[in-house]
């Protein structure tokens, strides 16, 4: 089986712009979670989707949003980018909502200038 894929792998944006990141889970996995990773904060949970519905949400401002499609692929969007949004954005998939073992993609590295 192919692993979790994320596109693009690298991205450079400027302040005020918006960005959309994409994640394709492992085939058959229906739960997708997103994390932000920065050197000082470690991994921070953004949100989790299952069956096209957001089921869980971390403590991030409304500029961060996401969605999941019927094929379980997910996108996250960050609007009005700030310098502090520069980070590695990780997507993880799992078989079910209550399936705790998560499989991570390689991440999208976002740099905001």
Instruction: Give the integer Cα–Cα distance in Å for 61 and 36.
Output: 13
Q: Which of 19, 35, 76, 112 binds other proteins (CB under 8 A)?
A: 35
Q: Which of 58, 60, 79, 95 binds other proteins (CB under 8 A)?
A: 58
Phi, psi of 3 (to 5 degrees): -80, -170
Q: Which of 13, 22, 43, 86 binds other proteins (CB under 8 A)?
A: 43
Instruction: Give the integer Cα–Cα distance in Å for 47 and 83.
Output: 21
Binding stretches for other proteins (CB under 8 A) = 4, 33, 35, 42-45, 48, 55-56, 58, 90, 92, 97-98, 100-107
């Amino acid at each position: 089986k192919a692993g979790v894929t994320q596109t693009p792998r690298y991205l450079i944006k400027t302040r005020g712009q918006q960005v959309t990141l994409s994640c394709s889970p492992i085939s058959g996995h229906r739960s997708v979670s997103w994390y932000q990773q920065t050197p000082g904060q470690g991994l921070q949970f953004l949100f989790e989707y299952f069956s096209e519905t957001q089921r869980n949400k971390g403590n991030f401002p409304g500029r961060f949003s996401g969605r999941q499609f019927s094929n379980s692929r997910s996108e996250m969007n960050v609007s009005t980018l700030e310098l502090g949004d520069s980070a590695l954005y990780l997507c993880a998939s799992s078989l079910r909502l209550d399936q705790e073992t998560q499989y991570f993609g390689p991440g999208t590295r976002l740099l905001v200038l």
